[in-house]
Amino acid sequence: MLEPIYRLIFTADEKLKKFLNELKQSIEQLGIKLPQQGYHEDPAKSQFQIVTRLFRIFKDSNQNPDDSFFMFKRQLKKEFVQITSENDDVYSKLIRLFCDIDNRKTSILNTPVQNENNIE
């Protein structure tokens, strides 16, 4: 499950970089601040770890399709206390982007990655 997120964050593909920027903007609209990618003193607070946690919450909340939106929103607020948005559209957009990642997993896994040490 982590591999598509890793590939997406460190992608060398320009289209996927644009997609990643849209994903980052949606995450920040919730009130979650993403650090610059690259070396971070606390690995648990790296961009990769934050996006991975969000994606894992998305996958877990989809186990029950009837309540998946509300479960996703509730779990995000529980794990990320800094969330400030109450706008359901922001959550819906993030879910749509994570669905795209899930649906495009094979193509994402086939993209080349950059050297992580060169990312700013």
Q: Give me the DSSP letters along 50-75.
A: HHHHHHHHHHHHTTSGGGHHHHHHHH
pLDDT in tens, 74-84: 999 999 988 88
pLDDT in tens, 82-116: 888 889 999 999 999 999 999 999 999 988 887 65
pTM for this one? 0.84
Mean pLDDT calculated for residue range 14-37: 90
Provide the residue range defining the domain that includes 80. Answer: 2-34+43-111
CA dist 35 and 47 (Å) reads 6
Question: Does 30 reside within a domain?
Answer: yes
Would the pLDDT of 73 be above 80? yes
The total domain count for the chain is: 1
CB atoms within 10 A of CB 41: 7
Question: Does 61 reside within a domain?
Answer: yes
Question: Does 101 reside within a domain?
Answer: yes
Question: Does 117 reside within a domain?
Answer: no
Question: Does 8 reside within a domain?
Answer: yes
CA dist 53 and 59 (Å) reads 10
Closest to 6 measured CA to CA, from 31, 45, 37: 37
Question: Does 47 reside within a domain?
Answer: yes
Question: Does 24 reside within a domain?
Answer: yes
Question: Does 116 reside within a domain?
Answer: no
